[in-house]
Amino acid sequence: MSYVPYPAAPPPHAPYAPHGGGPFGAQPPHAYREGMASGAAPQGPLPGKGYRMGVLAAGIVALTFVILGVTTFVLGTALNINEREPPIVWFVVGWVLFMIGTMAINAKSIVALVWVHKMWTWLPEQERVSRMWSSRISPAQATFFLLIPYFQYYWMFVVNCALADAMDRMQISVAGPPKPSAKGTAIAACVCTLVFFPASIFLWHAYMKRVEETAALVHQSRVPAMA
């Protein structure tokens, strides 16, 4: 009795086998896994652009008032450098302006966290993954890990790059090859958040807009129109 010890090799240039259906249970590449190819419907409503505009506005307000506060401190010191006790009003005004900027930064962070949670809630379950994290990422995990001191600097790369990758995979499944990916913008925004905050304000806006545009396209194609 003869037998073939191993399955025959697939023909050259054959399409990827279904999930787990290749020789010895081989899996298709990450970008073609079952979750994406099956066209799973999004899990919730899309966030409105108001969140994105709120992040942009709060960032601009924060930048403006921080600069004004620091400038007031410097001017108060420079104009009264020969006096033993410079007028306290300069420092009070500078402190107030600086605190307004700080509060705007906090408001920007809160709105951004809400946006992240809503986007991860919208993502199909199969798409909540990252190459930089070993398990699926829940919406709560995606959001609250951004509140962990110091770890947040790593996590913002994980969650935003993963979201950009998910958008690319989902767009491929409904509209073919994607436009330029939002991932590059996400990486640039994360880096600038650490080294040059003013630029990060506008990079985050560009990243969020690109993600929302792709999500809207996918949402229209996968969610039945409501009567």
Q: Domain ranges for the chain, please list them.
A: 42-219
Dist. CA 161–CA 121, nearest whole Å = 16
Of the pLDDT bands very low, low, confident and very high (cuts 50, 70, 90), residue 129 is: very high
pLDDT tens for 77-123 read: 777 766 666 678 888 899 999 999 999 999 999 999 999 999 999 99
Q: Which residue has the tokens 């809503």?
A: 118
Which of 41 and 61 is assigned the larger pLDDT?
61
Instruction: Give which of 153, 145, 64, 143 is closest to 110, Cα–Cα.
Output: 143
pLDDT value at position 85? 62
Is the pLDDT higher at 175 or at 137? 137
Residue 74 has pLDDT above 90, yes or no: no
% of the chain at pLDDT higher than 90: 54
User: Is pLDDT above 60 for 20?
Assistant: no
CA distances from 73 to 80, 91, 184, 196 (A): 11, 6, 37, 21
> How far apart (Å, rounded) are the C-alpha atoms in residues 182 and 160?
9
Q: What is the pLDDT of residues 24-60, one digit of tens each?
A: 444 444 443 434 444 555 666 788 889 999 999 999 9
- pLDDT surpassing 70 at residue 14: no
Burial 74-85 (b: 16+ CB within 10 A, else e): eebeeeeeeeee
In the prediction, which pLDDT does 36 show? 43
Q: How many Cα neighbours within 13 Å face the side chain of 11?
A: 2
User: pTM of the predicted model, to two decimals?
Assistant: 0.76
pLDDT digits (tens, 9 = 90+) for 138-158: 999 999 999 999 999 999 999
Q: Residue 23 — pLDDT band, cuts 50, 70, 90? A: very low
Would the CA dihedral through 138, 129, 112, 50 be positive or negative?
negative
Cα atoms in the Cβ-side hemisphere of radius 13 Å centred on 210: 23
Percent of the chain at pLDDT > 70 equals: 74
φ, ψ dihedrals at 132, nearest 5°: -100, 10
133: which strand partners? 130
